[in-house]
Amino acid sequence: MTAFARRARASAGRMHPELSLVSYTLLGHLEERDGCRATDLAAHYALDKSTVSRQVAALERAALVERRVDPDDHRVQVLHLTEAGREILAQVTESRRAAFQERLADWPDEDLVRFAGYLARYNAPGTDRS
C-alpha cells in the first residue's frame, strides 16, 4: 500500500508540480459531486478544515477551482472545477489508466479477475475501518 501511495504521489507531482495527491483527490470529488462546500470536503475526507483551506487555496491559485455563490443560500460558497481543472483531472485520469494498463499488460486473465475482485472487496461499503 505504501508503494502504491508513493507512486500515486509521484504521478500527481509529474502532472502539476504545485499540486499534491490530496489536491487531486479533492478535484476528483468536486467533479464527481459537481461542486461542494469546503466544509463538506473536510467532513467527507475527515480532514482538518485548515488543511482543506490550504489545499483549496492552492487549487484556486492554480486556476483549477473557483468559488460560486450557492443559488439556494447566498451565504454559502460552493467550490467548482474550472475548465482547466477538468482538463488537468482528465489528463491525470488518462495517465493513471495508461500506467495501470502498462503494469497489468502481461497478467493472465485469471489474475486480473482475482485482482479486480480483491479491489472490489477492499473498496466495498462497510470496509472503512479508519
Beta strands in 37-104 (DSSP E): 65-70, 73-81
Q: How far apart are CA 115 and CA 109, in angstroms?
A: 10
Q: How far apart are CA 63 and CA 82, in angstroms?
A: 7
pTM: 0.74
Q: What is the mean pLDDT of residues 52-74?
A: 94
The pLDDT tens digits for 47-62 are 999 999 999 999 999 9
Q: Determine whether 59 is exposed, middle or buried from the number of CB atoms within 10 Å of its CB (0-12, 13-18, 19+).
A: buried
Phi, then psi, of 22 in degrees rounded to 5: -60, -40
Provide the β-strand partners of residue 80.
Answer: 66
